[in-house]
A = this chain, B = another copy of it.
Amino acid sequence: MSISFEQFNTFVKEVTQETSKIINEAFKSQKEYWLKEDNSVVTQTDLVIEEHLRGRILEKFPSHGISGEEFQNQNDTSDNCWVLDPIDGTNSFIHGVPLFGTLIGFLDRGFPKYGSIQFPCLNNELLIGDSSKCYLNNNLLKRKNFSSWEKSLILTTDENRISRSRFYENWSRLKELNGMCRTWGDCYGYYLLCTGLADVMFDIDLKPYDILPVLPILMGSGIKVLDLSEKSDYTTIVACKPEILPTITEIFR
């Protein structure tokens, strides 16, 4: 049995209220972290939050599958599958920077149907979308127009990683447009894009749990996504306001 957007919304609002309290408490104290096999960082809080979310999902939707960042997939060939990133932006989290969030997505036969990002440090704001609409704390987001490159904000998560990739030239050309460039990345970059405060976000080396919950939000808020990955699996993307998609496509293709 699939679920309605209303059901997704109600459930996510409830569980992220719970996880947000745990994350905020942990953010105030010193964060021990260790490296995973792929060299990405993880903290005790990532594990605690993902366990909490898994428990709540299985309690409410016992037949559904779950695919998360920190533990093994469970029943993930199910028509209804949840995708979890307990703390997207763990590097920000461990360095005392409040630009991180909890991602929860819902896949219907593999297709990203609903998505949410919750920001514990930002008054608990919750961004939620279903590919056709996007809501910030229950208010429908209206698309904001692109103004000019001089006033634009261009984001990414990690410039060093881009420098070592085959996209270095494209990224350099994007920067030549003279927008303001910042590494206010991870899910916070997508938040700024959806709310109209940023214009472009370029991201590479994404994992399914980083991007699948974000896609229905981006699309719901009218943001265009250019998939640059070789396997069309959204591991490398440029997301931007629709007016500038032709320029972005010209730069990146």
Q: Point out residues on A near B: beta carbons under 8 Å.
A: 28, 91, 95-99, 121-123, 153, 158-160, 163, 175, 178, 180-184, 188, 191-192, 195, 197-198
Contacts and interface: CB of A to CB of B under 8 A. Distances in A.
29 contacts: A28-B123, A95-B153, A95-B184, A95-B197, A95-B198, A96-B191, A96-B192, A96-B197, A97-B182, A97-B184, A97-B188, A97-B192, A98-B98, A98-B99, A98-B121, A98-B122, A99-B99, A121-B121, A121-B122, A158-B180, A158-B181, A159-B159, A160-B175, A160-B181, A163-B175, A181-B183, A182-B183, A183-B183, A183-B184
A56 B79 CA distance: 63
A180 B188 CA distance: 18
Nearest to A122: B98
Contacts of A158: 180-181
